[in-house]
A and B are shown apart, each in its own frame.
Chain A
Amino acid sequence: MALAKRIIPCLDVDNGRVVKGVQFVDIRDAGDPVEVARRYDKEGADEITFLDITASSDDRETIVHVVEAVASEVFIPLTVGGGIRKVDDIRRMLNAGADKVAINTAAVFNPEFVKEAADKVGSQCIVVAIDAKQVSAEGEEKRWEIFTHGGRKPTGIDAIEWAQRMQSYGAGEILLTSMDRDGTKIGFDLDLTHAVCEAVNIPVIASGGVGNLQHLADGVTKGGADAVLAASIFHFAEYSVGEAKQFMAGQGIEIRK
């Protein structure tokens, strides 16, 4: 008996619709986040993460309705990220039925916000999302820095130190994305994953770069991650969550069947 490693499909939601082209054959409306979430739940997803990429803040309210609708039908943990800047934003999401919120940019610009948030709603609701990029040259000891604006702007903050600091500020979990690997489909940055997992005592979700099922398994067995997150391999129905679990179980990884 042991705690299962989690598989977390991630949905990018723009103005209330799933983007990145979902192509499930038997889903009536592939852009409907409720339908997609229901499908992932049926396949055995351990959690679902929604990333709100809506550009205009006027349209942000739509994600609240999405979360409400999903939470009335899908009874597994739900995380929402994107545009979380104030404790009010967090409360709105939790009241809509989210279990956790992912704080990204707001934590970088105002680290005290993480403290305040953990204090107000509890660490169990606070995920700090870290976007990291390798900054060391070849041959040097590896170093990663936090980047903002989709990986375009460096901050000079060391990723490992940042993860530890966020833990001490009350983060309950870390969502770690390698900006070098995001979208590449060549696998997680396992060195980065491993370094962060070793440095903190809270659960770490590995993200960025998954292209096949071996990548997911490696995140756990080589990276040491407590959970693995992927978007496109599930979106395009290349693999189902069920297949991912079967594959991981075959490699001796404890999963929820």
Chain B
Amino acid sequence: MSLVAVIDYGMGNLRSVAKALEHVDPRARIKITDEAADIKAADHIVFPGQGAIGHAMEALKQRNLDQILLQQMGHKPFLGICLGLQVMMDFSEEDGGTAGLGLLPGQVKRFPDPHIDPISNERLKVPHMGWNQLHQARPHPLWQGIAQDSRFYFVHSYYVTTEDPDEVAGTCDYGLPFVAAACRDNMFAVQFHPEKSAQSGLKLLQNFLQWDGRVD
């Protein structure tokens, strides 16, 4: 029976993620945890989060989770969700500038205010909230069985941008193109909420639980 550690660092509600994982694999043991021992023992690590990145980094450091994650991740399949994706980047301009974990190359920026769509000239609302299309930038085991340009549920005011196209797994467009999914080796991280994205989201979570962390 595989153990899935859902990292709890006090940033938002993790129940939905846990429930969705239980739904796609009723045999998996899903544990919401901040214990180093659980993270060590886990076969899969899920790193969710909602809220402000400054709080998130503080909370991780307080629990020593930043070090534990960097040491324990090894080759285990690792899935970052929403703020989890942003925390994995080098740097965010949120909260007066915040260094991230630097697991993936990229910057986190705020959508401009006002945010005008260059094509329609319409003002776009921030947060970017709702179902938008995800363009798969490369084949990946986690995209298996998910149609190109499927819609996923997004809620965020900050977005990820990178100059390293090799680590972009998927993009989305909201007045500007941004990184909706990033990947490197055993790591995969998404800006959207797979646990709230109906069938496409559940499929991605199922793919994740079946993934051995390798990319051919």
Contact = CB atoms under 8 A, between A and B. Distances in A.
Interface of A: 1-6, 41, 46, 71-73, 75-77, 94-97, 99, 121-125, 172-173, 201-203, 226-227, 256-257
Contacts of A5: 130
Contact of A122 (B23, B50, B126, B131): B50
B39 to A, nearest CB: 23
- B-side interface mostly: mixed
Contacts of B70: none
Given A3-B130, A76-B153, A226-B125, A97 B16 contact: yes
Interface residues of B, number: 39
A75 B51 contact: no
A6 B23 contact: no
Nearest to B20: A75
Interface stretch (B61-69, B72-80, B95-103, B196-204): B196-204
Contact of A94 (B13, B20, B127): B13
B16 A99 contact: yes
Given A1-B173, A172-B127, A77 B132 contact: no
Contact of A1 (B113, B124, B133): B133
Interface string B170-188: 0011100000000000000
B50 A75 contact: no
B174 A3 contact: yes
Contact of B198 (A6, A41, A125, A201): A41
Contacts, number: 93
A4 B197 contact: no
A202 B16 contact: no
Nearest to A93: B13
A72 B51 contact: no
A72 B19 contact: yes
B215 interface: no
Given A124-B129, A201-B113, 9 more contacts: A5-B130, A6-B130, A46-B130, A71-B16, A72-B22, A75-B16, A122-B12, A125-B50, A203-B129
A166 B151 CA distance: 30
Contacts of A95: 13, 15
B135 A1 contact: yes
A1 B149 contact: yes
B114 interface: yes
A112 to B, nearest CB: 20
Interface in B108-157: 113-114, 123-133, 135, 149, 151, 153, 155-156
A256 B173 contact: no
B13 A75 contact: no
B167 interface: no
B195 interface: yes
A16 to B, nearest CB: 20
Nearest to B134: A1
Given A2-B132, A227-B130, A201 B125 contact: yes
Contacts of B16: 71, 75, 97, 99
B131 A75 contact: no
Interface string B193-214: 0011110011000000000000
Contacts of A173: 129
Contacts of A226: 125, 129-130
A2 B131 CA distance: 9
A202 B114 CA distance: 11
17 contacts: A1-B132, A1-B172, A3-B174, A6-B131, A46-B131, A72-B19, A75-B16, A75-B20, A75-B23, A75-B195, A75-B202, A94-B13, A124-B155, A201-B113, A202-B125, A256-B131, A257-B151
A71 B13 CA distance: 13
